[in-house]
Structure 1
């Protein structure tokens, strides 16, 4: 069985949670207070992930799709468990749909969608055949590179003399309603709620005692990173431009101009996006095929890789008729109809049932011991 280290878990968690946020922005509906909405989303998201971690502690060595049959029984728990790999494949298709929309809009306007997505999915399929360890090692290489590039980007933005921090003021000047609306449910379920994928990966971590601290640390660092990105974007672009832009963080990079020499760094933003999206889609599909392996009890999960990547490729090509439809679905339909029920409601019910059964089991054991 493949195993990953604690640091590799940290890296994969950060890259996954960053995902498409690095180009789309986060909580843009909150305007200049997007950084505050992102911070609140991070705290609530960490609590949501804490729910998953508590379930992991109650089911040592088991994955998400094994928790439900264990607590609800085979006839109820197994159908519920099957909803998760299907949802993960759908979410992977949405991520691929983001790639389909961004690349022709930015750097490859004349390249057919199927070519871009086909090449992308070939790379995803290859890394999945290599296994989670290979994906984790790749993450170890890429995360420091991305952090270094981000620092360089910040230096260039400051050097371009385009930062106006007064655009962030007054904090919550238009009230808290839009901040909370941006944080819940979308801010919590997007990326942070999706970290439920890692319930399929945590049993593969070498140091089980380090999972809780590592995962929560990665979540807080990611949240800080996203909030900083939002604050910088608003300071440079203004609230109106930030809120209107489909790809605000891509537009942010376009503003870099140091002495009319260092400019036109659009490809840097696309590279950010493609890298983190690659990891997010790969983890979505890995978790889905590993879940299907557990549910079908086959020996080798690789038999699911080609069917799963083919389904994701089809979904990516056919996801929505337009960019606006695609984004509208992600903002208004998915959070309430899929993410909240599957990321929050069902796990919360499962936790109550698992705790209740454990408590009753402990009391029964104590009663039997006292009877003796």
Structure 2
């Protein structure tokens, strides 16, 4: 494992968080108040992510090892197997997101299966090396994200029909829809997905200032996504943002920067970078979880079978894109994200105060 710095880890986590989140208007069920839902969810994300860091520091171990320490070997391994399936499932979901984006926008004549294979070949190539390669690559590519975000910020002012009035009236339907949009949807996606980094923290030997950088990450992610939400709604309007499969891409199509038009190829690069990093981290988490469950010395022989499973799941996960989104935002959030991202880690944290954790060496 090559040495990883805090700034490199921060960059990788930020690219991971933004990977697929920027494609959508999170919390659009709150209509013009989606940006308020984003802020509320961001505030709630601070204690959630802090809990992940505390658990890592208490046990000095990865997630499966923590589960075994907290629940015993049999139950711990059973829960670890569930998390391995979860990581595989979310890797497949993110792959399908980017399949649909590419097929629905840029490569309209390309089969979804071909896009999946192309993405997963890159992901598996990254995983032939240790995770530091992915982290360092994300750090190198983050300036591209920032540069394109700056262009988007100024370019959106040239969009015909942009108006701050599209955010009005504020809280016209009360606070209830905003709270409902923030919890658990935005809290679990993207913030709760940082639980995957509990499989990476032990690998990079960073502890002292980890909490500070994770809190800064939550703040940066919240600010970025809030601005993104405001830009999309003020440009497209609530109705169009809710109707569009990929409102971020829809905004890019109508955006101009000076004499430049058709900026979508540049943002396709941003989307691909984020997608590959996010899928790679989820796939790595799944493989490392399997390695821990079966006490394997090496995990690289798992790459091909795991990649095949993710590919198959990405194809069969839903018959159509609307169904894929419905499952992801409704069923997955409540019945999968909440138990695995919030409830089980919270139980482990409570148990860690009842009985002193035995730190892994």
CA shift, 1:191, in A, is 1.5
Report the aligned-residue RMSD: 1.6
- For residue 262 of structure 1, what is the aligned residue in structure 2? 260
- For residue 18 of structure 1, what is the aligned residue in structure 2? 18
- For residue 370 of structure 1, what is the aligned residue in structure 2? none
Residue 115 of structure 1 pairs with residue 114 of structure 2? yes
Q: Alignment partner of 1:123: what SS?
A: helix
Distance across 2 between alignment mates of 1:213 and 1:49 = 11
* Residues 252-331 of structure 1: pairs in structure 2 closer than 5 A: 252-257=251-256, 261-331=259-329
| Deviation per residue, 1:190-219 (Å, 9 max, x gap) | 111111000011112343112111111111
Q: For the Cα contact (< 8 Å) 2:30–2:177, is it kept in 1?
A: yes
CA shift, 1:297, in A, is 1.2
Residue 74 of structure 1 pairs with residue 73 of structure 2? yes
What TM-score, normalized by structure 1, do the two folds share? 0.92
Q: Alignment partner of 1:173: what SS?
A: coil
* Residues 169-318 of structure 1: pairs in structure 2 closer than 5 A: 169-257=168-256, 261-318=259-316
- For residue 101 of structure 1, what is the aligned residue in structure 2? 100
Distance across 2 between alignment mates of 1:180 and 1:353 = 29
Distance across 2 between alignment mates of 1:123 and 1:137 = 16
| Deviation per residue, 1:97-134 (Å, 9 max, x gap) | 11221111101111122222111111110011022111
Distance across 2 between alignment mates of 1:91 and 1:163 = 35
Distance across 1 between alignment mates of 2:75 and 2:311 = 31
| Deviation per residue, 1:195-252 (Å, 9 max, x gap) | 1000011112343112111111111101110000001111111122122222111111
Distance across 1 between alignment mates of 2:330 and 2:242 = 16
Deviates more, 1:226-235 or 1:293-302: 293-302
CA shift, 1:46, in A, is 2.0
Larger Rg: 1
Deviates more, 1:161-170 or 1:20-29: 161-170
- For residue 347 of structure 2, what is the aligned residue in structure 1? 349
- Identify unmatched segments of 5+ residues in structure 2: none
| Deviation per residue, 1:125-167 (Å, 9 max, x gap) | 0011022111111111111111001101222222346431122
Q: Alignment partner of 1:20: what SS?
A: helix
Q: For the Cα contact (< 8 Å) 1:53–1:212, is it kept in 2?
A: yes
Distance across 1 between alignment mates of 2:3 and 2:201 = 10
- Identify unmatched segments of 5+ residues in structure 1: 362-372
CA shift, 1:254, in A, is 1.3
CA shift, 1:2, in A, is 4.7
Distance across 2 between alignment mates of 1:191 and 1:13 = 11
CA shift, 1:300, in A, is 1.1
CA shift, 1:174, in A, is 1.8
Q: Alignment partner of 2:44: what SS?
A: helix
CA shift, 1:44, in A, is 1.2
Distance across 1 between alignment mates of 2:175 and 2:7 = 37
Aligned length: 358
Distance across 1 between alignment mates of 2:132 and 2:312 = 27
Q: For the Cα contact (< 8 Å) 1:3–1:204, is it kept in 2?
A: no
CA shift, 1:272, in A, is 2.4
| Deviation per residue, 1:281-318 (Å, 9 max, x gap) | 00001111111112211111212111111111111122
